[in-house]
Structure 1
Amino acid sequence: MAPDVQVIAIRQSSKAFSPKDAFAGNQDPATRRKAGDIRTMARAIVHAANMGATVINISEVSCMTATDMIDQRDLGAAIHYAAVDRNVVIVAAAGNVGNETGVGNDCKQNPIYNPLTPNDPRDWAGVTTVATPAWFSDYVLTVGAVDSSGAPLGSSMAGPWVSIAAPGTDVEGLSPRDDGLMNAVEGNKNTLVAQAGTSFSAALVSGVAALVRAKYPQLTAQSGDQPVARDSAGASARGG
């Protein structure tokens, strides 16, 4: 997507690591606390900005109910620091419905549009699930996923903060081993499942953002994401 780009890889979360006493009263792997959380994400963003990143991709989402949100001041401050003080374009995944991500609840779909409230076309009033860092829409370019036909992917989280969409299916990536590419991951009962979701869409848009910044170095981070999202100005809150 962006030849000759310099990639800075920062591990913010990993299934290979977890805090002490990671299980909440039982040994169910589904309830195991991950090593990454909102605060470590904030630290990773600041670290990337201080290392000179011009585009930060965040293919990670934490979901919470709109009526019971956790303290995100550290994350908000980190995003503002990177986007405003360090002039970094931040690209974030919208999130995938039904997946446990980060430290929040599993992501439950938001309504897309309420025709009874034409003055609120993005349906901010109808939000039931907040996806972070995606919802920091003043400073983050949030990416939904579409399928190979260009239709919104059913699992792509909707929200008024979604600005653009990119392909999120039929994805190939580098294998963690040294034997080339991979196009599937291990699923239930030792089956292989095709890679799909907004994390991959966000990575594609991050590559485009890197190209835009290389071609137009005079653009600030806040203006630099506009050419990327320009063609999606009339998109729904799902990004499609």
Structure 2
Amino acid sequence: MRSPSINIQSRLPTITPTVVAPRIDPNIVGRGADIGSGRNIPSLRSACTAAERDSGECSGQSANATGGGGSGHGTAKNRSAGSRGNTLQTALDQRGIANELVAEIDGSLSDTQADELARRHGLTRLQSQNFPLIGSTIGLFRVTNRRAVDTVSREFATEAGVRSVQPNFRYVLQEQKTELTEGDPAQYAVAKLHLPQAHTLAHGANVTVAVIDSGIDINHPELANSIAASFDALGSKEGPHVHGTGIAGAIVAHARLIGSAPAARILAIRAFGVASNGAESSSYVILRGLDYAVAHGAQIINMSFAGPKDALIERGVAAIAGKGIVMVAAAGNAGAKSPPLYPAANTSVIAVSATDAQDKLFSASNRGGYIAVAAPGVDIFLPAPDNKYQMISGTSFSAAYVSGLAALMLERNPGLKPVEVRAILMKTARDLGPAGRDDLFGAGEADAYAAVQAAAAPAVPVAGGSSPPAVKSAPDQQDAPATRGLEQPASATLASGKPADGDPKPAAQ
């Protein structure tokens, strides 16, 4: 087996779009065995756990775009995809973390007063803090007297010092572990998105992308010198996770692989903790991540997760939109029959659906009028913790690629507003499916080269589908991963200097 023909110049790699990608023996991949050394990819990690196999979370399937779906049609793979969608929707229907609620409380209350207020209603205050992003003090509370959460919420909301109460909603990462069949082309997304051509114009330099996700392996060679800062919104001691590491890689990989914006800076924000079927988070923790991202200069926020409509997170999203920060989110992996998932369905967020190497829609991808564009998200070859690699699917990774495209655009034109970024991405997308915009692909598959060209002069009408120029390959330098002179600061901590003891733990799905 030969390694990907990825050529690296003195600083950043350039990839010829006509390269024939390798095919990987699925048996070797499944064992997570080393598949070479030196110039070869060191190892490929199978991200599928026993628990995920049991729950049907380990296979992905593409749907014929003209057929409008695929889960539930014929094959075992399609039936498995339908099972995955049902599993995710069941998790979303659970909505909130058991026996927890979040409330906006009077910021003038001392901790003692807030604790006494909680005790009167059979609650324990787990933690609370002021969120400059929304100008409010939010507390996280747990019901301790076995009363119904709805009943306690209604009564708690009548207190003079309480301004609003809601469930602590559950959010899940939008990934689907895949079973390899005959092997999968590595990094087909590079050619699909016209990244080599786009990288002749921009690499995402001096653009900061916040990744609110599970733990990122900041020591992975693909991410070297790309992490501007780290923050653990969970206050946990968990190690890096496959999802967060893969998301960061889709954006900034620059060693043997190539991300969509290899020179961008990443704010690595852990907001998702390991749970029985992947990783999950909550309203309170995600708000902490959003607050940190804005306070630390994020120009783009990648949100590869999904949950129900959530008043607290909607407030955060509205505040971020008001600051002119671009937000990109995964459309969701709950399938054709799913209701809109958030934050992707928020009108201020760029929602991204997933396609495969044949430009068909990922069967688990959500549909809807809120989809802006599509991007590759099936069998995506990305870094994994411990210097390994993985093949994985989901709208999460489509969103990450588009976050990188936005970084290229902002390098080209730092004055672009979020609405202009969305408009350019949609106007320059390559139409897929029925003619014009549709609920599967939005405006079509994102085109990095056309978008970056248009970003230089957004007021000028842009013709979509422009043909990119040929990109010359550089001499093979795969043994020397490219790096950039970004300073890598120490990991950030909470405002108190240490994690709060009462940080919510991930609940089992």
| TM-score higher than 0.5 | yes
* Residues 163/41 of structure 1: CA separation in 2 closer, same or farther (3 Å cut): same
Cα offset for 1:42? 2.5
| Counterpart selection for 1:238 from 428, 436, 440 | 440
**Residues 209-224 of structure 1 aligned to structure 2 (within 5 Å):** 209-224=406-421
Structure 2 CA distance for aligned equivalents of residues 58 and 35 of structure 1: 13
Cα offset for 1:172? 1.6
Equivalent residue number for residue 131 of structure 1: 341
Structure 2 CA distance for aligned equivalents of residues 229 and 45 of structure 1: 25
Give the gaps of 5 or more residues in structure 1.
17-28, 65-69, 98-107, 111-127, 185-194
| Counterpart selection for 1:89 from 323, 326, 333 | 326
Contact 1:147-1:153 at 8 Å conserved across structures: yes
Q: Deviations over 1:44-100 (max 9, x none)?
A: 1222112101011111111x5xxxxx6x22111111111222x11000000112xxx
Equivalent residue number for residue 206 of structure 1: 403
**Residues 186-201 of structure 1 aligned to structure 2 (within 5 Å):** 195-201=392-398
RMSD of aligned Cα (Å): 2.1
Equivalent residue number for residue 274 of structure 2: 15
Cα offset for 1:183? 2.4
Equivalent residue number for residue 175 of structure 1: 384
Q: Deviations over 1:118-173 (max 9, x none)?
A: xxxxxxxxxx6130111102x10000001101111111111221110000123121
Of all paired residues, the percent bearing the same amino acid is: 29
Greater Rg over alpha carbons, structure:
2
| Counterpart selection for 1:3 from 262, 284, 289 | 262
Q: Secondary structure at the match of 2:340?
A: strand
Q: Deviations over 1:101-133 (max 9, x none)?
A: xxxxxxx533xxxxxxxxxxxxxxxxx613011
**Normalising by the residue count of structure 2, what TM-score does the alignment of the two structures yield?**
0.33
User: Is 1:151 matched up with 2:360?
Assistant: yes
Give the gaps of 5 or more residues in structure 2.
1-259, 445-509
Cα offset for 1:209? 0.4
Structure 2 CA distance for aligned equivalents of residues 35 and 154 of structure 1: 22
Contact 2:372-2:422 at 8 Å conserved across structures: no
Cα offset for 1:222? 2.2
Structure 2 CA distance for aligned equivalents of residues 159 and 45 of structure 1: 25
Structure 1 CA distance for aligned equivalents of residues 423 and 343 of structure 2: 19
Structure 1 CA distance for aligned equivalents of residues 288 and 315 of structure 2: 10
| Equivalent residues, number | 178
Contact 1:46-1:81 at 8 Å conserved across structures: no
Runs of 4+ in 1 over 3 A off after TM superposition: none
Cα offset for 1:224? 2.2
- Read off the aligned partner of 1:48 and give its amino acid letter: A
- Read off the aligned partner of 1:130 and give its amino acid letter: P
Structure 1 CA distance for aligned equivalents of residues 313 and 264 of structure 2: 26
**Normalising by the residue count of structure 1, what TM-score does the alignment of the two structures yield?**
0.68
- Read off the aligned partner of 2:336 and give its amino acid letter: Q
Structure 2 CA distance for aligned equivalents of residues 75 and 203 of structure 1: 20
Cα offset for 1:35? 5.6
Contact 2:330-2:344 at 8 Å conserved across structures: yes
- Read off the aligned partner of 2:349 and give its amino acid letter: V
Equivalent residue number for residue 336 of structure 2: 109
- Read off the aligned partner of 2:263 and give its amino acid letter: D
Structure 2 CA distance for aligned equivalents of residues 109 and 224 of structure 1: 27
- Read off the aligned partner of 1:161 and give its amino acid letter: Y
- Read off the aligned partner of 1:183 and give its amino acid letter: Q
